Amino acid sequence: MAQPYRSIGQVMASVKSEYPEISISKIRYLESEGLITPERAPSGYRRYSQADIERLRYVLSAQKNHYLPLKVIREHLQLIDQGLEPPTVEATEPPTAPTVPASVPTMERGGSARPVKLTRAQLLDKSGLAEADLLQLERQSIIKLRRGTSYYGWEALTVAMVARRLNAFGVDARHMLVLRQAAEREVALIEQIVAPYSRRQEVSRRVTIEVAELVMHAHAALMQTVLEH
């Protein structure tokens, strides 16, 4: 009897009750990371076997119940592929998200808040980010020194803290580059909006900050909209 195969939509529907956060883009991302490898029909469509679905369930369970990073899950799957038992993992509490210090504003307005000025050692210490990861982020121009200075600002600290937190989900500098590119597109829009006010420097800065904050609010709301639909 021929082995039954399912489409990606059918696979998503079959695990949705157990993992409500699953999406087609999530499944494709796990495929791109080599964690599941469905066959391809002659037409090019993905074909998932029952073994593929069980493998997907294993990955999702390891993430949801044990908070394992993709690197560790991949190692477990390699053991399974060799006919070996992966290490037993007890249920764990979710990793604690880093909190941004109260002295770090969302946007620097040039007010009374003391600016954040960090050396490289201080940035690594406060963020908990590994130096190897910082080097990768710097190579992608995701984290930079403040222009014309030898120190890191609040934005570098925030990105470093977020990058460390996302590492637990298998996110590295390649993925963070997508966020930088999105930010560059949004900045281009902000610059276009602010251009008529550029003749007066003090007005231009005030308008830039106000528009940037509005764009950030819209960005967060639109992400929520997309995630829910």
pTM for the predicted model, two decimal places:
0.52
Convert the pLDDT of each residue in 75-123 to its tens digit.
899 988 888 888 876 555 554 444 444 433 445 544 434 578 999 999 9
- Which amino acid is it at 178? V
Query: Which are the contacts of 129, defined by CB distance < 8 A and separation ≥ 6?
Result: 123, 160, 161, 163, 164
Best CA proximity match to 74, nearest among 183, 185, 82: 82
Flag whether pLDDT at 160 surpasses 90. Answer: yes
The answer to whether 157 and 104 are in contact (CB under 8 A) is: yes
**CB atoms < 10 A from the CB of 160, how many?**
24
**CB atoms < 10 A from the CB of 90, how many?**
6
Spell out the domain ranges in the chain. Answer: 8-81, 114-171, 185-229
Flag whether pLDDT at 151 surpasses 90. Answer: yes
More confident residue, 62 or 119: 119
Best CA proximity match to 107, nearest among 187, 213, 182, 220: 213
Best CA proximity match to 14, nearest among 40, 37, 48, 59: 48
Average pLDDT value for residue range 19-26: 83
Q: What are residue 215's DSSP bridge partners?
A: none
Max distance between CA atoms of the chain, in angstroms, equals 76
The answer to whether 55 and 77 are in contact (CB under 8 A) is: yes
The fold adopted by the segment(s) 8-81 is Multidrug-efflux Transporter Regulator; Chain: A; Domain 2 (1.10.1660)
179 φ/ψ angles, rounded to the nearest 5 degrees: -65, -40
28: left (phi over 0), alpha (psi -120 to 50) or beta: alpha
Flag whether pLDDT at 125 surpasses 80. Answer: yes
Best CA proximity match to 161, nearest among 78, 79, 105, 98: 98
What are the Cα distances from residue 175, in Å, to 16, 33, 92, 157?
Answer: 25, 12, 26, 18
Average pLDDT value for residue range 144-155: 91
